[in-house]
Structure 1
Amino acid sequence: MRQFLGLALVLPIALVGGIYTPTHRADAQVQTGDSNALTLRSDVQEANSQTGVVTARGNVQIDYPARQIKATAAQAQYFSREARIVLSGNVYVLQEGNSLRGENITYLINEGRFVALPKAQRQVESIYIVSDPVTSTEPTAPSLNPEPAVEKPANQP
């Protein structure tokens, strides 16, 4: 009976805790100056209409298909008036196969430029895809004269 009474008291508390625990992620779509959507996902988001700043915290993911950018970070702030995004906390950015890692990375949207800073006593890491000039594995044929030279016999003037 005592175990049943304990379970009867604990079970409603556990169920109420389960009901009020947030289980969804916050999503926001930001319209950039060139009218292409940038999707921002995170555990928590706050927007301040007076300052024009959107702050996202916890498991931040950014998807910007117009510029082929995907990014992850612990926190992101979108400054709409300055058209810039500041990512912080173990930041990883992927664009067209090129990647960038750092502790703080700022993306200047209008310039299409990243500025990355490392953690103290660390470095920023960039990996770029460099395309080599196309090299042919077939031997090149000597150039041919379309009209072959005709030799005249030696006894003709």
Structure 2
Amino acid sequence: MKSFYHLKSLQKLPWGMGWMLPMAIFAAIATPTQLQPATAQNAAPNRPLTIRSDVQEYDAKTQVVTARGNVQLSYPSRQIQATAAQAQYFSKERRIILSGDVYILQQGGNSIRGERVTYLIDEGRFVALPRSNRQVESIYIVNDSSTNTSITSPAPKTPNLKNR
């Protein structure tokens, strides 16, 4: 099992610098913010991503955070909440891989269920895979403006037979 940080690599850095990366990752994972639309174009830099789980580890070399057991992910700037058995945040590649009974909910009601879902942060795109012999399920809330107006067709005209 990899440690949260490597003590030897921390000792080589100037005083205080060795703690900056782990603390920066912690701050990026643990701070809430306001909700904004879930699109890559609207994403502001340095928005927090919160991951809660039974166990977490950070690999300083690869800059990957791995969370296992009862994972709860909150990414308010993208209006995303998710649950899974495991989550991995690849900070260099800017992607999140959720696995094990994944459920993702976006504000507004859109959701996706699958066994493994990859979220490509810069693209604002999900790639979902199902369990073996199963399917991925997505629910999209469609704003249907025609539900407020009734569509009526004029009744067909019948010929007036009295005047013939």
Judge conservation of contact 1:40–1:63 (CA < 8 Å) in 2. Answer: yes
Aligned to 1:109: 121
Alignment partner of 2:62 out of 51, 57, 60? 51
Alpha-carbon contact 1:58-1:74 (below 8 Å) kept: yes
Which residue is equivalent to 1:72? 83
Partner amino acid, structure 1, of 2:139: I
Alpha-carbon displacement from aligned partner over 1:113-148 (angstroms, at most 9, x marks no partner): 0000000000000000001115346x9xxxxxxxxx
Aligned length: 112
* 2:144 match: 132
Q: Which runs of 4+ in 1 moved over 2 A?
A: 28-33, 134-137
TM-aligned CA deviation for residue 35 of structure 1:
1.1
Structure 1 residue 34: Cα displacement? 1.7
Note if contact 1:30-1:40 (Cα within 8 Å) is conserved in structure 2.
no
Match of 1:88 among 74, 85, 99: 99
Task: List runs of 5+ in structure 2 lacking aligned partners.
Answer: 1-25, 30-42, 153-164
CA distance in 2, matches of 1:110, 1:130: 24
Structure 2 distance, partners of 1:87, 1:101, is: 11
Q: Please give the alpha-carbon distance, in whole angstroms, between the structure 2 residues aligned to 1:64 and 1:78.
A: 12
2:45 paired residue among 34, 57, 60: 34
Cα offsets for 1:25-50 (capped at 9, x unmatched): xxx55369721101000000000111
For the pair shown, which has the larger CA radius of gyration, 1 or 2? 1
- RMSD of aligned residue pairs (Cα, Å): 2.1
Structure ranking higher in strand proportion: 1
Q: Which has the higher contact order (CA 8 A, sep 6+)?
A: 2
Q: Alignment identity in percent?
A: 64
Measured in 1, the distance between the counterparts of 2:44 and 2:93 equals 11
Deviation, 1:82, is 0.1
Structure 1: segments with no counterpart, 5+ residues: 1-27, 140-157
Secondary structure of the corresponding residue to residue 82 of structure 2: strand
Query: Could you state the TM-score of these two structures normalised by the residue count of structure 2?
Result: 0.63
Contact 1:62–1:70, Cα closer than 8 Å, also in 2: yes
CA distance in 2, matches of 1:81, 1:33: 17
